[in-house]
Amino acid sequence: MIPAPLLLTNVGQLLTLRSSQSGPRRGPFLSELEIVDNAAILCLGGKIVSVGTVKDALRDPWLKKNRKKVSEVDCGGGVVLPGFVDSHTHPVFMEPRLVDFEKRISGADYEEIAEAGGGIRASLEGVRTASQAALTQRVLHALHDLTKHGTTTVETKSGYGLSLDSELKSLEAIRAAAKQWAGTVIPTFLGAHVVPPGYRGRSQSYVEIVCKEMLPAVAKRKLAKFVDVFCDRGAFSEIECSTIFGAALQHGFGVRAHLGQLSSPRDGFIESMLECCRPASLDHMDHVRDHEVAALAKSDTVVTLVPGANYFLGLEQYPPARKFINAGVAVALATDYNPGTSPTVSMPMAMSLACTHMKMSPAESIAAATINGAWALGLADRKGSVEPGKDADLTVFDVRDYREIPYWFGVNRCVQTIIGGVALASPA
């Protein structure tokens, strides 16, 4: 069904994020928001067709003639920006991990909790025993929550099943939920999240199952666009990661990795991976060496920072965002929504943490949460900026100045989300 023409008017500040530069935003270009004051946006057939001032819009001959057919959203002088692109989430789980939460408060760290059977492994049973319909409802609930906070595109990973059947079930649940949600879902297969119980001490056998059984089945059913690997101490080694990436590329998947969260990868690994696999994104990256930053700056691989995880784990150290940005690395921000280390769907919260704990400017946090998230998912031709020809995915915030979006933390100021040119029911 083609949506009716939609006009957004009375936009106090419109953050277009348009750019004359090609490729993901780097260095000083990360803070260029290209703001239009007193703006209007016309959407037709789910796409943005014109962007300008209200004055310009009212002079538009097509609009003059067709005004009665156009539905209008009065943005009340608020701030409008592209819908957030959350390029890293794990929504396929059943229960929150409250025992881990309390254990950590009383002093246990990530790896101690994992050793005691908590962490990722604690979510396995819920997913393995749940019906696909129950998982679908969980994912759909998360997608609706994301929309309420201004997110219109989401990357969603499997990874709490860790067996052929339960990983396929997780990805089928993502597909079913995506069909019922207006926004865009990019599914990622994360069969290599941790080594599941039963394979401890023989992770190589599990990697073989991932490569020879799971990947072909996921490819055959077209259930994922990307393959992700958690490559770190206590998860998968660099060699195992390379093996899985090799198989993934053969099946036509794009690749991305959780890297450098708990420890530095083996020296030289990042450079060799950039060369052989051209990952779309490397995520976390708390531990990174200067020569790796330099290599990343020369690549199109996006570094996706997820400060929500550092916050929720109560860490003092955050990823070195300034080092990345100053060196010219393309940086994105994501929530890392998951039950163990980052139970938040709020991109504004991730942006607030980026400002307060990683010293990113409010403008940088917005570009990282929109256009660079789109680059991290290979969607920059359709998402992440407000320009004619792009999908009409927009979000309206009840603030006067864009800097208020990361400023007001712990409260949701998103009052309207527009997806594919359709204004969804207001969250407030």
Tell me which residues touch Zn ion (CB under 5 A): 336
* Cβ 45 vs Cβ 401: under 8 Å: no
Q: Nearer Cβ to Zn ion, position 168 or 235?
A: 235
Q: Nearer Cβ to Zn ion, position 230 or 253?
A: 230
Say how far apart CA 391 and CA 65 lie, in whole Å.
24
* Cβ 190 vs Cβ 159: under 8 Å: yes
Q: CA separation (Å) from 177 to 9, 144, 369?
A: 32, 10, 23
Cβ 17 to Zn ion shortest distance, Å:
25
Cβ 229 to Zn ion shortest distance, Å:
11
Q: Nearer Cβ to Zn ion, position 18 or 88?
A: 88
Say how far apart CA 277 and CA 226 lie, in whole Å.
12
Q: Nearer Cβ to Zn ion, position 286 or 336?
A: 336
Cβ 90 to Zn ion shortest distance, Å:
6
Matching residue, tokens 């570009």:
367
Cβ 226 to Zn ion shortest distance, Å:
13
Say how far apart CA 392 and CA 354 lie, in whole Å.
27
Cβ 205 to Zn ion shortest distance, Å:
24
* Cβ 151 vs Cβ 371: under 8 Å: no
Which tokens in the block code for residue 207? 């990697």
Q: Nearer Cβ to Zn ion, position 338 or 395?
A: 338
Cβ 372 to Zn ion shortest distance, Å:
17
DSSP assignment of 391-416 equals B--EEEES-SSTTHHHHSTTS--EEE
Cβ 385 to Zn ion shortest distance, Å:
25
Matching residue, tokens 């691989």:
301
Sheet holding 151-157, edge to edge: 84-89, 151-157, 184-192, 226-231, 254-259, 281-284, 302-305, 331-333
Q: Nearer Cβ to Zn ion, position 87 or 395?
A: 87
Q: Nearer Cβ to Zn ion, position 148 or 258?
A: 258
Q: In the bound complex, which residue of the shown chain has the CB atom lying closest to Zn ion?
A: 336
Q: Nearer Cβ to Zn ion, position 292 or 336?
A: 336
Cβ 336 to Zn ion shortest distance, Å:
5
Q: Nearer Cβ to Zn ion, position 93 or 269?
A: 93
Cβ 366 to Zn ion shortest distance, Å:
22
Which tokens in the block code for residue 285? 């990256």
